[in-house]
Amino acid sequence: MRIISLITAVVVVFILYVLVFERDVLTGFSNGQNIENLTGDLSDGPELNSEVNVVLPKKDNSKKIISVVVVESIAKTIDSAVVLRGQTAAARLVEVRSETSGQVVNEPLRKGTAISHGQILCGLDPGTRQASLADAVAGLAEARARVPETQAKLDEAKARLTEAKINFNAANKLSEGGYASETRVASAKAAVRAAEAGIASATAGFDSTRSKIQSAEASVAIAQKEIDRVSLKAPFSGILETDTAELGTLLQPGALCGKIIQLDPIKFVGFVPETQLSRVIKGSNAVAKLINGQEIKGKVTFISRSADQTTRTFRVEIEAENTDLTISEGQTSEILIASDGTQAHLLPQSALTLNDDGALGVRTVDDDSRVQFFEIDIIRDTMNGVWLKGLPKKSTVIIIGQEYVTDGVEVQQVFQEVKN
């Protein structure tokens, strides 16, 4: 029974082979073609095992090679830049506020007006401040006039003390020789003490006069300061951001007169991550690009040493000229800060792809025409392509077809010239 089953299996395999692989021969035989021709066709087919008559099909060793478009790229040294997103900021901004009470007596200045340093923004009614100043000046003159009188009293007291000391010394010597009484000596000694008390009194009077002079000088300074406060002046040149206080407005201490902003020079403010902080150096050249395409050159003037607690970034300020005042505060900008040069490749954006792990990179072709993936870092984006870092100095990069191949696959290269 086993022999019959084996023979049946061999026959079935043969029939299936003829039906599948030799369909054309079978069709020709059914159409009445010569059996020798059919036999010749079969002889070109697979060989049969003579022992068990099993068909062994031939193996097809042919393989399909994918064609990709590649470019030859050689790395170039470019100025690597730290790219930040930021905005413009005024160099200086101040709110001019009143330090005293008074009614505005001058016409207001309108916002947008160019202001020079020291220009009066709000003039207040001086009131009785001039009279107070005059009174303080008079008090100062009176105090100074008393100086000669007190000085004379002090000099007189000193002279009396000198005289009393001479009399005391003489009386004392006469008493020692028996020519003066003890009463005379005591009287001379009392005169010395009285003279010393007179000096103390004269000195106190002189000090009092000097204190009154200082008090009068302070009163004059206060009165003068009050007069100065009635004229609210611009602390620097700039542009009015708001209208100044209206005519007739009663300003109290702390009330707003006007707001001044200085836009020349202009500042560009950005925030650099801590991973790139070491690449930013104070004094480095920088270029700021506005949304309208305008580019402004400047220098790094400030790098914060304290990180923002939320974003862990550091504030960076770039200062640039803005003499025509075309740049306003708060405009969005892209800031490029120059750093050390680096080797990079300029390639079209179409060359970028992701590997199975989601890493950004490009696929290249080696000398054996096999594919290799490289992770890259984008340094700069331009109109002509992107500058990439992370590839060998000379690389054959796939720009079309990289999505259909993987590492190690052999490809056919179609070269394309790169136009930089």
pLDDT value for 215: 85
pLDDT value for 49: 41
pLDDT value for 19: 62
Question: For residues 149 and 369, which has the higher predicted lDDT (pLDDT)?
Answer: 369
Q: For 182-209, what is the mean pLDDT?
A: 75
Q: Do 153 and 27 reside in the same domain of the chain?
A: no
Report whether 258 contacts 274 (CB < 8 A): no
pLDDT value for 156: 76
Report whether 79 contacts 341 (CB < 8 A): yes
In one-letter notation, the amino acid at residue 116 is S
- Give residue for tokens 């009470």: 101
Residue 90 within any structural domain of the chain: no
Q: How confident is the model at residue 317 (pLDDT cuts 50, 70, 90)?
A: very high
Rounded CA separation 402/387 (Å): 19
Q: Do 205 and 191 reside in the same domain of the chain?
A: yes
pLDDT(47) > 60: no
pTM, rounded to two decimals:
0.53
Q: How confident is the model at residue 130 (pLDDT cuts 50, 70, 90)?
A: confident
Domain containing 32: what range?
2-56
pLDDT value for 110: 93
Highest mean pLDDT among 59-68, 129-138, 254-263: 254-263
**Which of 119-128, 139-148, 300-309, 371-380 is predicted with the least confidence, judged by mean pLDDT?**
139-148
pLDDT value for 161: 76
Residue 84 within any structural domain of the chain: no
pLDDT value for 199: 78
pLDDT value for 71: 92
Residue 205 within any structural domain of the chain: yes
Q: Do 142 and 216 reside in the same domain of the chain?
A: yes
pLDDT value for 366: 92
Q: What is the mean pLDDT of the chain?
A: 81
Rounded CA separation 296/322 (Å): 9
Q: Do 179 and 236 reside in the same domain of the chain?
A: no
**Which of 49-58, 82-91, 205-214, 267-276 is predicted with the least confidence, judged by mean pLDDT?**
49-58
Which of these three, 326, 341, 356, is where a domain ends?
Answer: 341
Q: Do 104 and 253 reside in the same domain of the chain?
A: yes
Rounded CA separation 210/208 (Å): 5
Rounded CA separation 197/180 (Å): 26
pLDDT value for 59: 42
pLDDT(18) > 80: no
Q: What does the DSSP 8-state code read for residue 67?
A: E
Q: Do 263 and 334 reside in the same domain of the chain?
A: yes
In one-letter notation, the amino acid at residue 304 is S
pLDDT value for 25: 55
pLDDT(51) > 60: no
The domain spanning residue 103 has which CATH number?
A: 2.40.50.100
pLDDT(33) > 60: no
Neighbouring C-beta atoms of residue 194, cutoff 10 Å: 13
Q: Do 170 and 222 reside in the same domain of the chain?
A: yes
Looking at the structure of the chain, the number of domains it has is: 5
pLDDT(243) > 80: yes
